[in-house]
Amino acid sequence: MHQLAEGDTVEVRGPRNNFELVPAPQYVFFAGGIGITPILPMVRRAAELLVPWRLVYGARNREAMAFRNELRSVQGGALRLVPEDTEGRTDFGYELSLIEPGTVIYACGPAPMLDALAAACSTLGLDSQLHVERFKGSGEVHAHQPADGAFEVELARTGEVVRVTASQTIIDAILPVRPDQPYSCLEGYCGTCETKVLAGVPDHRDEYLSDDQREANDTMMLCVSRANSRRVVLDL
Ligand code: FES
């Protein structure tokens, strides 16, 4: 906004929601630590809709669990608190064994928790029922990434070539020459910086694209994704 001048036209849209509550006959929510933040309004919404819900909420200890009292006042469901200091970590296999067919599962929390939940869902054939919110990109490093971590980005509309060093994101590298490039979360989950890929092989590290979209390699998120080839050509 600080770049705006009086009289400039600004495009405005509503907020993006990449973690929408889909209709379901029943919900199970898993929250880890601060991951309760997006889960709390979902629990409230489920209660408003009179849809049965169960929330399993884990954290280091009971004192670290925000919104405990608010959650206790939500009707129509079951709340299970799992303080790690006295009960250990959530047993996802057990919790998932309790759910009814058609239950939709929502989870938000630290990456190891979400990975453990995803593995348990996969074992039980529940992958399609799982909806996960990750605050950070997975940050995986892929085998074909150039050894020094640097690569080039070609901006096809002008032919400019920008070097992205190991410590930079593509957004960092291109903003000096493309100051209007849109971005928002800078963590790979909002989709604002999605850009068409014309050539090269992206190393997708976002949480926005589906597996099919990643395989197609048609677009990439410039805020977190990198390259598995020496150069990627972008429609910029
Ligand atoms: S700025 Fe949000 S995905 Fe890149």
pLDDT confidence band for 143 (50 / 70 / 90): very low
The domain made up of 151-234 has a fold known as: Ubiquitin-like (UB roll) (3.10.20)
Ligand 1 pocket test target in 175, 192, 214, 220 with most atoms within 8 Å of CB:
192
For residue 140, what pLDDT is reported? Answer: 46
For residue 135, what pLDDT is reported? Answer: 64
Over residues 10-54, the pLDDT tens digits come to 888 888 787 889 999 999 999 999 899 999 999 999 999 999 999
What architecture is domain 27-133? Answer: 3-Layer(aba) Sandwich (3.40)
Break the chain into its structural domains and give their ranges. Answer: 27-133, 151-234
Q: For ligand 1, is residue 201 a contact (CB within 6 Å)? A: no
Measured in angstroms, how far is the CA atom of residue 182 from the centroid of ligand 1? Answer: 9
For residue 31, what pLDDT is reported? Answer: 96
154 burial level (CB within 10 Å; 0-12, 13-18, 19+): middle
pLDDT confidence band for 141 (50 / 70 / 90): very low
Which pair of structure tokens corresponds to residue 89?
């970590």
DSSP-derived 3-state class of residue 23: coil
Over residues 78-105, the pLDDT tens digits come to 999 999 999 999 999 999 999 999 999 9
For residue 30, what pLDDT is reported? Answer: 97
